[in-house]
Structures are given as C-alpha cells and as structure tokens.
Structure 1
Amino acid sequence: MFTEIAELWQRGEIFSRLREEDNLIGVTPKEEVYREDKVILYRFIPQVKNLLSTPILIVYALVNRPYIVDLQEKRSLVANLLKLGVDVYLIDWGYPTRIDRWLTLDDYINGYINNCIDVVCDRHNLEQINLLGICQGGTFSLCYSSLYPEKVKNLIVMVTPVDFHTQEGLLNVWSGCTLGAKALDVDLAINTLGNVPGDWLNFQFLMLKPFQLGVEKYIKFLESSDSEEKIINFFRMEKWIFDSPDLAGETFRQYMKDFYQENKLIKGQLEIEGNPIHLENIRMPVFNIYAEQDHLVPPISSLALEKYITISDYTVSSFPVGHIGMYVSSKVQKNLPIAIADWLRIREEN
C-alpha cells in the first residue's frame, strides 16, 4: 500500500491532475448569468426536462469557497438536486482584496444577495424564489428573509448559527461570547489588519480540533489510501480546506460584534443600515437542516430558530455527521437532496 502511494506521489500524477483538470473540483456544468464587483451569480445547467417552476438560490458563507456543494461526482449536492428537477443558482463571493475592506453586511445582504435574487426573478418572470442558505450564508438568508419576505417563497437553512451564545462549541468561546467576555478584540484586529486574512481564520478553525485536523486525519489517510482515487479525493478536499478567501474587514467587524459577541439576531436588536431584523417577520415555510456532530455550529444553535419564528410550516431534519460531512458524506448525499427536493415539491403549488 505505502509503495503504491509513494509511486503515485513520485510520478506527480495526483498534483498534476489537480492543477490541470478543472473538472476535478466543481464538476457540474454552469453558466455565469450576472456579475457585480467580485461577485458572480451562476446557474447550473438543468439536467432534466421537468423542472420545479421555482428555482433555488444557494447562498454560501464568506469563509472558504462554495464549490464544496459541487466538489466531486457522486458527492455533489448541486448535481443531485439537478437530477431531481431543482433549478439551481449559486452565488460565488470571489476573493475580496484591499479595496473591499469597507464592504458591510448591508452591501452583502441589501446589495449583492438582493440584486442576485432580482436577476433570478427577472429571468424566470417570478416575484419569489426559493433560498438555500448554508452556514454563515444561512444567517445572511435569515436576515434577508426578514427584510424581504415577499421575495422568498421557501427558505431552507443548513448548518446555520442562530443563537450565538450557546455554551457548546469552542468557536463561541474563541469569539468572546462566553459569560459576556471579549476574548477577541475585533476592533483592534480590523484596525490593524484591514481585511481578515483567510489563512489566519482557517488556522483558527483548525485549532478547534488540533489533533484530529492537524495529525489524525493524515495518519488515517496513510492507513486507508490504497488507491489513486482515494488519494485524489483526499487532496481535492485539502485543496478546498485551504482555499480560504480573505474577509472584508468591516463585514467581519459587524458580524463578530453583532452576532457572536452581542447575539443581536435572537434579541431583536440587529439592524442593517438602520433596518431592524426581526425573525418573526419570516412568514414563508422554513426547512432547518443541521448536523448532529457539528463542532462549528452546535445543533443547539441551529435549533434555536424555532423559538423565534412564528410560522406553522416549520420542518427540521438532522444527519449524524459533522459540519463538513453535510457536504461530502456519501450517505448524506443519498438522502439530503431528496429531502430538499421533496420538501420543495410539496410546497410548489402553494
């Protein structure tokens, strides 16, 4: 086994394929339909004739890259949704640079997301579309749906933080919410750095599980990688993990202070450019999906949503995986796309 790995490594075939073959990451054909600054809106090419009449827009987090939802064949949430007749759009936030330091939550939510939704609505002659927010993108989607409930037909949030003051999860401790502490001086960080370096932030995530993510996974890789396919899959995942865009400084400042440190979302105290965000304004059907073993977004943080919305059409579902497993677990991908498509199909005529 180790001889085979050494030979593959020595020949350089793995790295050359990762560098040269774009279809190894982001496997599903797509087309650019809108561009604003560094943000690109993609539509994935439909694969069946009988599509649901209302398309879905995927809003991913600003951290890491959104191609995790289309990382590889047979483990692509996007590809599986397309096969089930869902018309899929996705926002790619791009890579912020120094000129983007002053972008705020208002720019992302009232600007980019709203403009992308308008584009999708115009393309399909609709007044509403479906929204799928993932992780931080789910929190953004909750804010958007509170501000523009008339534009969202159905809302799906996946591994989405809602209550940021849970006592579970080291990320909450690191960000400084525990017992009202200010462990992270956000103002000092942003005033010093400008934008938040993606590599630095990624290092913080890795340090939440230093042994598992820094040592153990590489040992397991050597013990189980007995084929070229497994090795390529491992490096494909590594490429995504370390493909970390910088974060716009002012957006990071607002997000950390208003959400993590002050927990304003569930307190009803959050404002975006003077517009109050109230979760009870969310009037469309909501599907809340969480990972039972999530160390980045504890289940209790996601499940808190039910306490603050007033709609009757609320569905919750979980999967026995961690945060990343929601995207790449083969077992999850057998059931998650079907759950989403069936949930949307039931509400298609409402």
Structure 2
Amino acid sequence: MKHAGNIPPADAVPTRDAERHNAIDRAFHATIGSLTGGLSPMGLATAWFDWGVHLAGSPAKQAELQERAVANGARALQSAVSCPLSPAGEGCAEMEADKRFRDEEWQRYPFNMLAQWFLLTEDWWHAATTGVQGIAPRHAQMTNFLARQALDMMAPSNYALTNPVVLDRTQQEQGANLVRGFRNWLEDFANYAENAPPDTGDFKVGENVAITPGEVVYRNRLIELIRYRPTTKEVKAEPLLIVPAWIMKYYILDLSAHNSMVRFLVDQGIEVYMISWLNPGEADSELSMEDYVRLGIFEALDTIGKAVPDQKIHAAGYCLGGTLLSIAAAAMAREKDDRLASLTLLAAQVDFTEAGEITLFTDDSQVAFLEDIMAEQGYLKSDQMAGAFQMLRSNDLIWSRTIRDYLLGERGGMNDLMAWNADATRMPATMHSEYLRKLFLENRLALGQYKVGGRLVSVEDIETPLFAVGTEKDHVAPWKSVWKITRFADGSNTFLLTSGGHNAGIVSEPGHPRRHYRIGEVPGHALAAETWKGAHAPIEGSWWPAWAEWLTAHSTGTRAAAEKPALPSLGAAPGTYVFG
C-alpha cells in the first residue's frame, strides 16, 4: 500500500515519540512505586484475578469453603460460650500455637474469644487460597501470601483497644505508654521524610563493629579489598577471599569482637581477605553483573595472587556473593584456571526454581516495574528492597515492632546485627535488572545459559572441593534451594545445615546459646535433601570450628605469617566504601 508524500504508515511511531512515551510510563511507575514500596500493583491484580476466576469456576471448592465457613461459624459460636467460662483459655486451644496470643492476658474474656475468631478467619482464608484447580501455581502462592499479609494487618493484637497487654499497660501508666509511642512514631516519620541516616544506636563502624585490624590493599571503582592482620605466627598456605553480597555491608561477617567471623578465622591461622563493595549512586547505574564478576572477584584474586604468589586461594561467598562467586568459579573452570583451592557457599543459591517466597516479588510484571523505577533513579533504593524482605516475616519485623514501639511505647534494644541490618545499601539499575531477569526469572545459571565474557559458563564444570552451608529457617535462601549446588558441582561436596535464619544462622559464633548443625559429605547428585538430613544427627554448638577444620584439611600446609602486607596499604580497615 502506497502512502502519500512522506507520511509514515499509521502503525509506525517515530523513535523519539516512543522514547517520550516510555519516559512517561517510567515516571508513572516510579510514582506508583513510591507509594507501594516498589511492588507492582498490576502483578498483584493479575494473581487475584486468576484466583477469583478459577474459584468462580470450581463449584466443588465453593461447596468445601461453604462447609468450612459453617463449621468455623459453629466453633466461633461455641467459643462465645466457652471462652467466658474458661478464664484459663481451655476453650480456646488454637491460641496456644500462635505466639501473638501467648501472653497470659489473652486468656481473659473477651480477648480469648477475639483471638479465636481471628484464627478461625485465618483458617478459612488459607483454605480459600489453596487447592484451587487450574490457577497458576505462582499465582496461588501469591494470593495465599497476600491474604496472610492482609490478615496479619488486621490481627487484634495490632490495635490498642483489642490487645489486653496494651490495655493493661495503658491503665498502669495512665496512658504514658501511648504518649511515648506517639513520640516514637513522630520521630520515625520525620526520619523517613527527611531521608535521615539509619539509626544504628551505639554501634559505629570502625569503633565497635568492623574493628578487626587490617589494611585496604586494593581499590577500584567498585571494591576495596581488605587484608586482615594475622594473629598467629604461622598461617595456612592458602589465603581465604570472602565475597559478601552487594545488597549488604560486608561487616556482617566482622561485627563485634565476640561474634566476628573474620576475627575467628584469623585466630585459626587463616589469612583473610574481604571485599567491601561500593554503595552505588546514580552515576553507577550502568554497572553490570559482568562488572561485578570482573572488577570484584577477578581483580581481587589477581591482587591476592600478587601478594601470595604461587599459592591457590580458598574462596567463600555469602548470599548473593556466593551466587556471584559460583559464576566466577564456573568461568574459571571453563578457562582451566585452577587458582581456587576450595569453594565455600554460605546461604547462596545457583538454582532459583525454589528460591522461597521472595520469588513472589519477582515476575515479569514486577521486574518491568522495578526497571522503570530504577531507570528514573539510576539504582534501587535500600528501602524499596527492604520492604519485600520485611513482608516475608511481617509478624516479626513489622507488627511486633509496631506494638512495641507505638502501643507499648518501648524502644527495643539495639544489637550489632540489628545495627548492621539498618545500614542498608543500594543496587545499580543495570546489574539488578540483569540479576532479576537472568537468574531469578530465567534461571540461566542452573540451565547452563549464563554468559561471562560473551561465552557460556556451566556450574557443572566446577570440580573444586565445595563446602555449602544452609540455614534451617532461611526465608531468603531456603536450605533446600541452597542444597541444589550439590547436584551441579562435580567435585567433593560437603554440606552443612545449621540452625537459625539467613543472617543469625551464619553469624553463629562459638558459645552462642541454642545452636546446632548437621554436617556430612554428599555422596551423589541424586541424593535428596531430606534423605541427607535424616542421615546426619544434629551436633550442638557453632558450625564455625567445623568449617575451619575443613579449610585446614584442604590446605597444603603452613607458611610464616607476614606482619606487613606484601602490597602497600591504602588505609586502615574498614576502609572508606563501607561508609557510603
């Protein structure tokens, strides 16, 4: 079909117009994201629609829910009679399993009845959002998760008039607790509005956390490399490089003197090097995953090789740092680069098919939404990521804090791990987009489709001895997902499962109460995670000594400790990037 003159076809949009339209979308999505904590309402609506349509087309499921509603209604009526007659709560047994209602005050009427009714409502909604035939599995998980979040928000424990603990405190203090709580709220709101620095209490980097002596021996635009001073006359022949995640400050592994993993390792005669990542700003938006591999891990290894020539290097990665280290190790295996003496992955994943509830926030709609937000900012703000992680444990991280700070008027005591958690970081736009799309959405690393230097890498090429650590209560990297590295790496694999969660399970120093772990070799790729767990009895205590023994067993001897680093010092630890 011919067009008169130079008039373009009706469906053709000039490039500049398309870019202008995209800019409008980005600005619109960024505005919405500022109100939703970075979550995509379109993705959430899609999940709810999928659930609602399939539920509407499932008469058997509807009948089941009607029966459950009648049964729960009968139990609610029964509790209306039994709860007033059982001040000790015998008629409200379901409350015992929920820690929100464990205080003795909840056994009084009418609060025991309110708690009972709430738990029955939770039970019905759980049934309603599970077992609906035809719904996409991911949408089913999302609707169940969102229903739980909505109900958690409406729990009677969250409101002063329906929380007997708050009412008793208000009566005892004649309302002073609510006055303090209001002041706490005003303070928090002002800090948020003014984008104030995070409150880390009395914990200051370089003063009482991140204080293990050392020097920065290398710096580029992305990392500072810290070498810690040995405390023993001899050290293991092979030094250890630790790669922390870029979504956290490195000093989670060098907290206070008593629970610093770095100090513990140094005292075991291991020469430790640590990467400290730059906290990126708008000017760093183009930094990519390839940059993090090259400028981060490869240049760190090159630097250590200059300081300790002709020695292999142990390498350990924590969380996303472990994922990045796995990519680097696979690239090194592809190139027949044998500089790694061993590989340790701490709560790190290489296969993201079962990466836990955090994947509910990582679909095409959500990633596209975040990409538009990051295009406006140049990076992802720390609070935009923190919101998703807090929702995974909303009762512990949101509502219990709300009750304590604003209703009881108490400020919880700060510890070093909490102070570190408040000291959040940002993510550059390009790198974070690649990470979400290539690893989370497309799972390219596990499928052997991830490229480094323009060529494919495969985790299955890794033959370096492997030590993998999972934590039992990990909401970020579930231990069965961490376990999957043993199905890929072809070397000698040792797995350790420790108590605790993603952070506290790793920071589990000797002497820490109520800690245990299981450890053992993984004999074959086909072994199931639960089978391995059942075959290894728990061992009381910290897992750190077991790892130190494993590193010693995979070392080739000792050498004299150098009092001064072989490389010139660029400044004392903790360096400068950690303050960004």
Structure-2-length-normalised TM-score: 0.53
- Work out whether 1:156 is the aligned partner of 2:344: yes
CA distance in 1 between counterparts of 2:377 and 2:456 reads: 29
Q: Secondary structure at the match of 1:153?
A: strand
Corresponding residue for 2:221?
37
Corresponding residue for 2:490?
310
CA distance in 2 between counterparts of 1:18 and 1:341 reads: 28
Structure 1's 18 and 183: CA in aligned 2 closer, same or farther, altered over 3 A? Answer: closer
Corresponding residue for 2:448?
268
Corresponding residue for 2:556?
349
For 1:274-297, what per-residue CA distance to the aligned partner results, in whole angstroms no more than 9, with x for missing partners?
A: 121201111110001110110000
CA distance in 1 between counterparts of 2:405 and 2:230 reads: 35
Q: What pairs with 1:166-185 in structure 2 (closer than 5 Å)?
A: 166=354, 169-176=356-363, 182-185=365-368
Corresponding residue for 2:388?
204
Corresponding residue for 1:320?
499
Q: Which runs of 5+ in 2 are unaligned?
A: 1-179, 185-198, 407-411, 517-540, 558-580
Corresponding residue for 1:3?
none
CA distance in 1 between counterparts of 2:306 and 2:456 reads: 27
CA distance in 1 between counterparts of 2:229 and 2:403 reads: 39
* Contact 2:200 2:423 (8 Å CA) reproduced: no
Corresponding residue for 2:78?
none
Q: What pairs with 1:326-341 in structure 2 (closer than 5 Å)?
A: 326-329=505-508, 330-331=512-513, 335-341=542-548
* Contact 2:289 2:434 (8 Å CA) reproduced: yes
Q: What pairs with 1:31-110 in structure 2 (closer than 5 Å)?
A: 31-110=215-294
* Contact 1:280 1:310 (8 Å CA) reproduced: yes
Of 313-322 and 188-197, more deviation after overlay is shown by: 188-197
410, 413, 430: which one aligns with 1:231 = 413
Give the counterpart letter for 1:264 in structure 2. R
Corresponding residue for 2:111?
none
The Cα of 1:239 is off from its aligned counterpart by 2.4
* Contact 2:246 2:277 (8 Å CA) reproduced: yes
Q: Secondary structure at the match of 2:258?
A: coil
Structure 1's 219 and 322: CA in aligned 2 closer, same or farther, altered over 3 A? Answer: farther
Structure 1's 220 and 120: CA in aligned 2 closer, same or farther, altered over 3 A? Answer: farther
420, 427, 450: which one aligns with 1:240 = 420
For 1:196-217, what per-residue CA distance to the aligned partner results, in whole angstroms no more than 9, with x for missing partners?
A: 1122112221122122112336
Q: Secondary structure at the match of 1:214?
A: helix
Q: Which runs of 5+ in 1 are unaligned?
A: 1-5, 223-229
Q: Secondary structure at the match of 1:343?
A: helix
CA distance in 2 between counterparts of 1:100 and 1:301 reads: 31
The Cα of 1:117 is off from its aligned counterpart by 0.7
For 1:103-143, what per-residue CA distance to the aligned partner results, in whole angstroms no more than 9, with x for missing partners?
A: 11111102221011111111011352110000000000101
Count of equivalent residues: 326
Of 209-218 and 256-265, more deviation after overlay is shown by: 209-218
Structure 1's 323 and 248: CA in aligned 2 closer, same or farther, altered over 3 A? Answer: same
Q: Secondary structure at the match of 1:31?
A: strand
The Cα of 1:182 is off from its aligned counterpart by 4.2
CA distance in 2 between counterparts of 1:289 and 1:56 reads: 17
Structure 1's 32 and 217: CA in aligned 2 closer, same or farther, altered over 3 A? Answer: same
The Cα of 1:309 is off from its aligned counterpart by 1.8
Q: Secondary structure at the match of 2:203?
A: helix
Q: Secondary structure at the match of 1:325?
A: coil
Give the counterpart letter for 1:70 in structure 2. D
Q: Share of identical aligned residues, percent?
A: 25
CA distance in 1 between counterparts of 2:455 and 2:200 reads: 48
CA distance in 1 between counterparts of 2:484 and 2:365 reads: 23
Give the counterpart letter for 2:542 in structure 1. N
Mark the structure with the bigger radius of gyration: 2
The Cα of 1:219 is off from its aligned counterpart by 6.5
For 1:240-265, what per-residue CA distance to the aligned partner results, in whole angstroms no more than 9, with x for missing partners?
A: 11211111111001000000000111
Corresponding residue for 2:151?
none
* Contact 1:61 1:135 (8 Å CA) reproduced: yes
CA distance in 2 between counterparts of 1:94 and 1:341 reads: 29
Q: Which protein, 1 or 2, shows the higher relative CO under an 8 Å CA cutoff with sep ≥ 6? A: 1
* Contact 2:222 2:295 (8 Å CA) reproduced: no
The Cα of 1:175 is off from its aligned counterpart by 1.1
Structure-1-length-normalised TM-score: 0.85
